[in-house]
Structure 1
Amino acid sequence: GADDYITKPFNPREVVARVRAHLRRQNRINEAPSAHNLHIGDLSMHVERHEARIGEQPLELTPTEFNLLRTLMQQPGYVFTRSELIEKALGYGYESIERSLDTHIKNLRRKMGEDPKEPRYVQTVYGIGYRMADEP
């Protein structure tokens, strides 16, 4: 069924705004209730408080890094393509080239104290994208 309608004449910006609003609502509906506290190994995240830590060490993350980490932690083991990770973590309106994602991931790993050659948590799947390790 229909969730909304727009009468003629309409402004294209209004259509875009309404579609984005529906997508935001759909993302909130699909979010699992257990997604507020995430744990993988000694990496933990409290989504509502916007807090992430490794062991007792808090991580000072930018909103972009936090959203990337949250998205990866919500589906450990799942391989995200670069474009899929940009879409899910940063939203449809994120205007960037895919390679800037690599820079965000590099900064996230550095803040997590990851070995760039053998990261324990955020792993590169060459030619595809990234995944969160099931268990580091």
Structure 2
Amino acid sequence: MTEHPVRTPGGRPIGTLGTGSYPPAGTVSNELVAERAGTTPERISVKAGIHSRCYAADHEATSDPAVEAARAALADAGIRADQLGRIVVATSTPDHPRPATACPVRHRIGAPGAAVREHTQGTGQ
């Protein structure tokens, strides 16, 4: 394991050891988003620099790609899920209001000892 300058009082390292991503297969154009948001595709492109975005399939919840991204991050870090101390999920589309989406992620990747935290955009949670 890489030496980390920041450690818990118990001596465990704190830091990001690996990263992962898992974009859903579906894409949606600015035209559809603009229609739903009451704006124009051009405004979205200019203001946000986004031309299309990934959308999960109807049968997928936020936790589904989060689990795959977590598995990729664990592989990138070269560690096991049971070595994690904390799982953080940041989303504007949680699976449910409660429990946090990080809870099913923790369960499905096999990290029972990890604390969970979720930040849901716009709610202050």
TM-score computed with the length of structure 1 as normaliser: 0.28
Q: Normalising by structure 2, what TM-score?
A: 0.30
The higher relative CO (CA closer than 8 Å, separation ≥ 6) is in: 2
